[in-house]
Amino acid sequence: MLHWVFVGFAALTFGMLLDGSDAAVFRTAALVGYPVAVLLSVVAALRGPERGRRITIVLHLVLAPMQFVFSIPATIALLGIPLSLTILGLSRPRFPRMSPRTRKIWLILHVGFSVGWLGVALTMTVMAIIGSAAESHALRHGAYEALHVIDLAAAIPSMFLAIITGLVLSLGTKWGLVRHWWVLVKFAISVSIPLLAGTVESALADELALRTVDPAAEPGSTGVALTACLAGFTIALWVATILSVAKPWPRTRWGRSADARERAARLHAQARG
């Protein structure tokens, strides 16, 4: 059923993307990506839950983060992220465990991109504070213009790469995606930030960049709201960093069930041996 829901959503989003010329590269990516996703979703739906399971898992594992990029020309694409994650979760993906060497490579990549994302968020927060507090028109407008550029050129790529590497790392190691509360909460933080950035932060930043072209214009409450939003993202990313180090809380219900199945499988194998 959800396959067809996604097909309808992708077709609707594709239609909306046809009307516009901004963000040409990202728009083109979405105009290519959604038809391919529709085709694969239809194939998976027609093949049935079991035979189409692998197609579904690979498709939505790629689409979940890719729709951050697709949302640049069309904010509605953000709604596809929770839909893809829901379909992915219901497909119950299982991945082989990484070798220690492979795990180390992905861990280095994830830590590097996550630190980059945190640094970009902090930089954008500082730029928002400068824009809100500056008395010089050139400095005020320049800060918001620079913030907009950083958002597109640095925030989106670092966000995308941090989420992708984190997803691969969790699914390919003992931690899993839903086995431990700290992993699940960290993933929820990582996904919620782009959702809010695409719907709230980008609208505020765009408004301020346009408004402050006028030397007499003041950021006002919009400038305060943007600063608070970006500061919230920075704090949330610090929380995610702390969770990665502290690894608090017990296993989730799904983690306990998975552990029980693995113990049963090992006992069965020992009994047969």
- Each residue's pLDDT, cut to its tens digit, for the chain (273 residues) gives 788 999 999 999 999 988 877 778 889 999 999 999 999 999 998 888 788 888 998 899 888 888 888 888 888 888 888 888 888 877 877 778 899 999 999 999 999 999 999 999 999 999 999 999 998 999 999 999 999 899 888 998 898 899 889 988 988 888 888 889 999 999 899 989 988 888 899 889 999 999 999 998 999 999 999 999 999 999 999 999 999 999 999 888 878 887 777 777 676 666 675
Q: CA-CA distance, 235 to 223, in Å (whole number)? A: 18
**250 φψ region: left (φ > 0), alpha (ψ -120 to 50), beta (else):** beta
Q: What angle do CA 57, 12, 24 make, to 5 degrees?
A: 90
Q: What is the pTM of this model?
A: 0.83
Q: Which amino acid is at 122?
A: L
Show the DSSP H helices in the chain as ranges.
Answer: 2-17, 24-51, 53-70, 80-90, 100-133, 137-150, 156-171, 181-196, 202-211, 220-246, 253-272
The DSSP symbol for 94 reads: -
- Token pair belonging to 103: 């795990």
**Quick one: which of 168, 192, 201, 189 has its CA closest to 72?**
201
